[in-house]
Amino acid sequence: MSKAVASTEKYSAPALSKGLDILELLAAQTNGLKKNEIAQALDRSVNELYRMLAVLVARGYVLFDEESERYALSMRLFELSHRYPPTRRLTAVAGRIMERTAAVLNQSMHLAIPYDGQILVIAQIDSPGNNITVVRLGAQVPIVLTSSGASLLHQLTATERRDICAKSEAFTTETMAVFEEAVAQVVSTGVCESPSSVIQGVLNLSVPVFGYAGEVVAALTIPHVQRLHASSDPDVEACKRILIAAGRDISERIGAGATVGANLTPPPML
């Protein structure tokens, strides 16, 4: 456990802290870690962690591979997060609308929420076409590099946005300047259109999804690809119009109907 975490804990619960340290460490590992590697990373002895690991395995939060002797995070926490009522309600409503929209546009879509300087993808729909670009479910991407982030943070002040974006290693003066340009698009038009900062040739289109009080609760995004032999696909302007409508539909269905209609200035139809 880091000194920073230890210094901010008002109440001491050593066993719980050790368990959480293990989960947070394994969450960043693709191939898992051996027991001694976990102990070394957390600056603890193997004996200190033995019981913690045994309990986490027994409860299904951690998987143990006997052949490699490695411990890895299971999908248990991911499953629990989707039982959380607000997230479950949002993804249930958005999923149906996203499926219809992806089919009409022949484009993939994803729904993201903010998480500690990142965007976290909580829903994803593939396009029906053969050639697709998708962001995997559960993916985390620095918020400052994404059009989703611009949609998520456009209601905040510039200082608030900067503080959130600065949590990421991708934060620089240059990336923040590009991000603020994307935010300005959302403020003025209701949709962000920006080249992907991660994949060349992809044009990201994103709109905010609003909650009951008019607050932004998620971002609905298309990693738009231009297919060379699909002349029937809607063009970018049509995609933006339909994406805005989908975002409004989701917002209204999760309870923002009156608020979006009365208290928010609707973005102009492009």
Mean pLDDT across the stretch 91-101? 92
In the chain the first and final C-alpha atoms are separated, in Å, by 51
pLDDT of 173 reads: 95
Q: With pLDDT > 70 as the criterion, what percentage of the chain qualifies? A: 86
DSSP one-letter code for 10: S
Residues 22, 56 contacting (CB under 8 angstroms): yes
pLDDT of residue 56: 94
Tokens 């973005």: give the residue.
Answer: 267
Which residue ranges form the domains of the chain, and what is each CATH number?
3-76 (1.10.10.10), 82-262 (3.30.450.40)
- The Cα–Cα gap between 167 and 270 comes to 34
Confidence band of 10 (pLDDT split at 50, 70, 90): low
Confidence at 116, pLDDT banded by 50, 70, 90: confident
pLDDT, residue 270, reads: 37
pLDDT of 7 higher than 50: no
Residue 185 has pLDDT above 50, yes or no: yes
Complete edge-to-edge strand list for the sheet that includes strand 216-224:
140-142, 118-125, 109-115, 216-224, 203-210, 192-195
Q: What is the pLDDT of residue 212?
A: 82
Of the listed ranges 209-213, 217-221, 239-243, the least confidently predicted one is 209-213
**pLDDT score, position 255:** 82
Closest C-alpha to 89, from 109, 113, 108: 113
Two tokens at 82? Answer: 């989707």
Q: Mind listing the pLDDT tens digit for each residue in 248-261? A: 999 999 887 544 44
When pLDDT is cut at 50, 70 and 90, the band that residue 130 belongs to is: low
What's residue 99's pLDDT?
Answer: 94
**If you average pLDDT over every residue of the chain, what do you get?**
85
- If you write DSSP's letter for every residue of 158-214 in order, what string do you get? HHHHHHHHTTSTT--HHHHHHHHHHHHHHHHHS-EEEE-SSSTT-EEEEEEEE-TTS
pTM for the full predicted model = 0.67
Is 36 or 270 the better-scoring residue by pLDDT? Answer: 36
- List C-alpha distances in Å: 230 to 75, 91, 258: 38, 30, 39
125 exposed, middle or buried (CB, 10 Å; 0-12, 13-18, 19+)? buried
Q: Region 238-247: what's the mean pLDDT?
A: 95
> Does the pLDDT of residue 4 top 60, yes or no?
no
